[in-house]
Amino acid sequence: MTTIASDNPFSAAEQDTLAALAGAVIPASVEYGVPGADDAEIVADILATARPHYEAVRAGLGFQDTVATAAYGAPFAELSAADRADFVERSNTYGGFDDIEWEFDPGAIAGQRTLISIILQCYYRDDRVMQSLEMEPRPPFPQGFEVEQGDWSLLEPVKQRGKIYRPA
Amino acid sequence: MTESVDVLIVGAGASGAAVAWSLAETRMRIVCLEQGDWMNPAEYPSSGRDWESRAFSDMSISPNRRKRETDYPVNDANSPISVANFNAVGGSTILYAGHFPRFHPSDFRVKTLDGVADDWPIDYDRLEPFYAENDRMMGVSGLGGDPAYPPKQAVMPPVPLGKSGATIARGFNKMGWHWWPSDTAIATAQYDGRDQCINLGACSSGCAQGAKASTDITYWPHAVRAGVEVRTRCRVREITVNADGMASGVVYYDRDGVEQFQAAEVVIVACNGVGTPRLLLNSTSGAFPNGLANSSGLVGKNLMFHPYASIQGIFDEPLDGYRGPGVCIWSQEFYETDLDRGFVRGYTYEINRGRGPVATAATGMFSGRIPWGAGHHERYRELFNRIAGMVGICEDLPEEHNTVTLDPELTDGHGIPAPKIDYTLSENSRRMLDHAVAKATEVLTAAGAVDVITEAPIGVGGWHLMGTARMGTDPERSVVNEWGRAHDVKNLFIVDGSIFVTSAGVNPTRTIQALALYVADSMKRRLANLFD
């Protein structure tokens, strides 16, 4: 289980679900030399970032567990590796959970979207991940970035076409 | 009660800043009340590693998500497009992209030319000097000679074309369609105390470099030096009237939440197309039981957004990605009416350079293109720095059933009734969106895109708020006259997007500001008999 700051509002079970989900969505990769989103530093960032969105994220975690329980008989964090892999596979398939019964709750679905969004926000600002993408691990300001001017001669055919606005 | 002022402006955004600066030369006592704060650019998101995240929280375009103390909630549940704004000195120019097109001459004559909506009571030629004046004040970058416009001069060179702009421009050239470097409110050289753009790529979360022309760093420093007073954290509840039916001042809550009254000889409302009708409808009295300046019944009606279509291509070569201003070129190939397309009026394509690492992941995952699990990384890398595309900004025609009213229950932090939006996408807009998606898909494919991601309308895309206190010469069909004065209240003026008669198919800020300068000029010319 991940160690979390004491002011974190999420219960231990919610934290477990969150870390398990993060790792399922973005697993570590040896090929690309990156951690998974269940890396302790990243999970801590996720939990801190999720704090202002607690209600939505909590609803999203609940939705995750609801679907997992309906499909496999256990909350997401308690699924076996095989069930978790199957869950991921079904999540990637349109209608992958159509065979199970669960109550449609737009708030919970919106919460899951918020939760996934926060996982992405925290993962893709991690130093190790940014470096693997050949980005400098820094904010945009104050150094900024270089952008090439580009080939302005591309405008020639547009100029040759002449006026296109309508007289009024 | 405080001392009476000559001119009281409500709202310090795009139009409030312009009108304040223009009137300052009169040496009248001018006060502007703004519910937000002065922003500190050093605290803008691009200064931190969480720069993309903050677009989802305290720097979100949605007041309902942002929930700053300085915001008011908006009930937009009954609209497929939700309201975007920002409340601060600078208003929504703090978060806008800086895409800065003018209206076309034809946009002021839609009834005459196309038989829809109404003509404006003014035309392009009347506004042109004020467009030019505003261009100098805001510092517009671009390139003269655009065949989609009458001649106009840019103040600075255009933002870079870059890999993304060049790639998509080649697509337009293959199709034989118009494109041109966008006019932008982004300084490409040092200008009027502002530094030049260094391609931070986070324009829509506030420009830490100060290159983007938000009015807190363009008009306001000049206006304040000329003697205009800006009072921040002052939320206006209502405009009051005297026994003669003239505006007498405003009731507002100061930064301590204490109710105040500010008397004024002239009141100018500059609160945007949602905030302005909200304020007028909250300003009821015996003389104006249905809201101030509302004898026509049109305050809050004819709300226009610009329905936006997003069409993003995935390319198999690296593009600009997160680097550089989001805007680079535009196309107005489908701007002027051609009924063979199945709709009246038209739209602009605003070409987007790319997106950051988080936005890339979100776009990929929420569109089903990046999977959960082991395949995530490989697919992500096929999209990272390889997405570029455009949005289609569709002209929205005025319809009286699209409204801003007062919510019967929802209020802001001061207990002032919040605005409620009721809006339906018209069939004409739907067809225009479909056309924009189809044609953009063609051009992106021609440019080499291997896949295209679309969304239409963009649900969060209510950036442009217009038409809810329209201008005109007929008091029964308009709220303000042809120079911005309320028909019903001769010392009340409106200068924001509320007074638009039609929306055109372009971002409105440049026209909002030109109108504000025009109204200010009209006032200055009539100072001796302003209330006649």
| Contact yes or no for B257/B414 (Cβ under 8 A) | yes
CA B207 from centre of chain: 17
CATH superfamily for B5-38+74-142+152-354+386-525 is FAD/NAD(P)-binding domain (3.50.50.60)
The verdict on a CB contact (< 8 Å) between A25 and B373 is yes
Q: Are strands B259-269 and B308-314 parallel, antiparallel or unpaired?
A: unpaired
- A4 compared with B489, residue with greater pLDDT: B489
> Residue B1 — very low, low, confident or very high, per pLDDT cuts 50/70/90?
low
> Would you place residue A6 in the very low, low, confident or very high pLDDT band (cuts 50, 70, 90)?
low
Residue B165 near chain A (CB below 8 Å): yes
Q: How many CB pairs under 8 A join A and B?
A: 186
Window 210-269 of B: residues touching A by CB (8 A cutoff) are: none
pLDDT at B416 over 50: yes
Please check the confidence at residue A4 and state whether its pLDDT lies above 60. no
B417-444 core/surface letters (b: 16 or more CB in 10 A; e: else): bbbbbbbebbebbeebbbbbbebbbbbb
A76 chain-B contacts, CB cut-off 8 A: none
| pLDDT value at residue A2 | 43
| B85, B475, B486 from B471: Cα distances, Å | 22, 9, 9
**What integer is the mean pLDDT of A117-140?**
97
- pLDDT at residue number A103: 76
pLDDT digits (tens, 9 = 90+) for B124-179: 999 999 999 999 999 999 999 999 999 999 999 999 999 999 999 999 999 999 99
CB contact under 8 A, A158 and B147: yes
The percent of residues in chain B predicted with pLDDT above 90, rounded, is 99
Residue B323 has pLDDT above 80, yes or no: yes
The string of pLDDT tens digits covering residues B76-109 is: 999 999 999 999 999 999 999 999 999 999 999 9
* Record: contact A25-B200, CB cut-off 8 A: no
Predicted local confidence at residue B11, as pLDDT: 98
A104: helix, strand or coil = coil
Question: Which residues from B are below 8 Å from A44, CB to CB?
Answer: none
Average pLDDT in the A37-47 region? 97
pLDDT of residue A13 exceeding 80, the answer is yes
**Cβ–Cβ gap B372/A88 under 8 Å:** yes
pLDDT for B227 beyond 50: yes
pLDDT exceeds cutoff 90 at A94: no
Phi, psi of B248 (to 5 degrees): -110, -15
Average pLDDT, chain B: 97
Question: In angstroms, rounded to a whole number, what is the distance separating the alpha carbons of residues B404 and B393?
Answer: 21
State the ipTM, two decimals. 0.93
Asked if A150 and B208 come within 8 Å (Cβ–Cβ), the reply is: no
B442: pLDDT strictly greater than 90: yes
- Spell out the domain ranges in chain A: 12-137
Residues 60-119 of A with CB under 8 A from B: 85, 88-89, 91-92, 94, 113, 116-118
Contacts of A145 in chain B (CB under 8 A): 198-201, 322-324
Residue from the list B166, B172, B337 with its beta carbon closest to the beta carbon of A150: B166
User: Tokens 């420009």 identify what position?
Assistant: B207
pLDDT at A97: 87
Instruction: Quickly state the pLDDT bin for A98 (edges 50, 70, 90).
Output: confident
For chain B, give the longest Cα–Cα distance. Answer: 75
Query: Contact, B310 vs B454, CB < 8 A?
Result: yes
B74-85 pLDDT, tens digit each = 999 999 999 999
Q: Report the gap between the CA of B224 and the closest CA in chain A (Å).
A: 28
Q: Does A145 touch chain B (CB under 8 A)?
A: yes
Contacts of B419 (CB under 8 A, 6+ apart): B72, B74, B75, B83, B274, B275, B277, B278, B404, B405, B406, B407
Instruction: Answer whether B124 sits within 8 Å of A168, measured CB to CB.
Output: yes
Q: Stretch B448-468: mean pLDDT, rounded? A: 97
**Chain B residue whose CA is closest to A20:** B373
Contacts of A117 in chain B (CB under 8 A): 56, 362
Q: Read off the DSSP letter of residue A164.
A: -
DSSP B282-302: H---SS-TT-TT-TTS-TT-S
Q: Please state, in angstroms and as integers, the Cα–Cα distance from residue B521 to each residue in B160, B167, B339, B527, following that order.
A: 35, 43, 38, 10
| Statement: residue A3 has pLDDT above 50 | no
Residue A1 has pLDDT above 70, yes or no: no
Asked if the C-beta of B1 comes within 8 angstroms of chain A's C-beta atoms, the answer is no
Q: Is beta strand B5-10 parallel, antiparallel or unpaired with respect to B30-33?
A: parallel
Q: Smallest Cβ distance to A141: which of B108, B209, B322? A: B209
Task: Say what percent of chain A tops pLDDT 70.
Answer: 96
CA angle B177, B162, B360 (to 5 degrees): 95
Phi-psi region of B522 (alpha: psi -120 to 50; beta: other; left: phi over 0): alpha
Exposure letters B6-26 (e unless 16+ CB within 10 A, then b): ebbbbbbbbbbbbbbbbbbeb
* pLDDT, greater one: A106 or B169: B169
The stretch B230-248 carries a mean pLDDT of 98
Contact B328, B354 (CB under 8 A): no
Helix/strand/coil percentages in chain A, nearest 5: 55, 0, 40
Taking residues B271-285, report their average pLDDT: 98
Q: How far apart (Å, rounded) are the C-alpha atoms in residues B451 and B403?
A: 38
Q: Which of B111, B218, B209, B202 is nearest to B155 (CA)?
A: B218
Distance CA B198, CA B187 (A): 10
**A141 interface with B at CB cutoff 8 Å:** yes
Query: Cβ A149–B162 below 8 Å, yes or no?
Result: yes
Is B51 touching A (CB cutoff 8 A)?
yes
Query: Which phi and psi angles does B375 have, rounded to 5°?
Result: -80, 0
CB proximity A151 to B under 8 Å: yes
Q: Is B223 in contact with B20 (CB distance < 8 Å)?
A: yes
